Structure 1
Amino acid sequence: MHLETLRAFCLSLPAVTEDVKWEHDLCFSIGGKMFCVASLESPLSFSFKVNPEDFHELSVLPGLTPAPYLARYHWILASDGNTLSQAEVERRIKDSYEMIKSKLPKKALKDAGLL
């Protein structure tokens, strides 16, 4: 997967914003909360939130590790853009988006046009 493919998918989700943080990470957020972070440097690597049940299973697969600084919140780092199939990446990112969205307060959902 390429950064532009990942970016296009993330931005296709409702009410998503993007910005650059830490000088070299492209962050995708909903209601001000990140759900996916991608490195702007090659090769593509990206992080996303998973549910606790999947965290341990995914973190031992080749090319996937607990995300630095975010592992305690069940984030996974895909250190290679080709570790997962495009369909699997899209499913995992959509799940991450939904997990973050489900924890947003109603005011944030309303402000984002999701209520």
Structure 2
Amino acid sequence: MRRDGFEAFVLTLPKTTLVRQWRDDSVAKVGGKIFALLDRDPGEVWLKVSEMAFELLTELDGVRPAPYFARAGWVAISVESPLRGDEVEAYVREAYRIIAGKLSKTVRAELGL
């Protein structure tokens, strides 16, 4: 996924903020918590997934446990993976849902979620 496409897509999700940090990666957050990022080098989408999705996805070529984030259930999806763009977007939406659901009631109320 290219940066412009990733950024445009994540900004369609309610109350998402986008920052560039670390090595100029595009980092998507909700309530100040990261739910997905685009690692420009080597061009992977990193995102939070469920335990079951982690087990299934990491069996695919082009999908690996995300460095530094794997212990929290994150995967890194490369352009070489068999996943289509709409499937990656569905996983990003689910990552958003997972992280937004873990926000405190107060923060969710402040965000209108």
Q: TM-score, normalised by structure 1?
A: 0.89
Q: Deviations over 1:47-101 (max 9, x none)?
A: 0111001111101211100000111111000122764211101110000000001
Cα pair 1:63 1:83 within 8 Å, conserved: yes
Whether 1:101 aligns to 2:100 is yes
Cα pair 1:44 1:81 within 8 Å, conserved: no
Alignment of 1:9-24 (within 5 A): 9-24=9-24
Runs of 4+ in structure 1 off by over 3 angstroms are none
Q: Which residue of 2 aligns with 1:89?
A: 88
Q: TM-score, normalised by structure 2?
A: 0.90
Q: Which residue of 2 aligns with 1:60?
A: 59
Q: Which residue of 2 aligns with 1:76?
A: 75
Percent sequence identity over aligned pairs:
35
Distance in 1 between the 2:3 and 2:21 partners? 16
Taking only aligned residues, the RMSD between alpha carbons, in angstroms, comes to 1.6
Corresponding letter in the other structure for 1:110 = A
Distance in 2 between the 1:50 and 1:30 partners? 15
Q: Secondary structure at the match of 1:93?
A: helix
Closer/same/farther in 2, CA of residues 82 and 59 from structure 1, 3 Å limit: closer
Residue ranges of structure 2 left out of the alignment (5+ in a row): none
Closer/same/farther in 2, CA of residues 83 and 24 from structure 1, 3 Å limit: farther
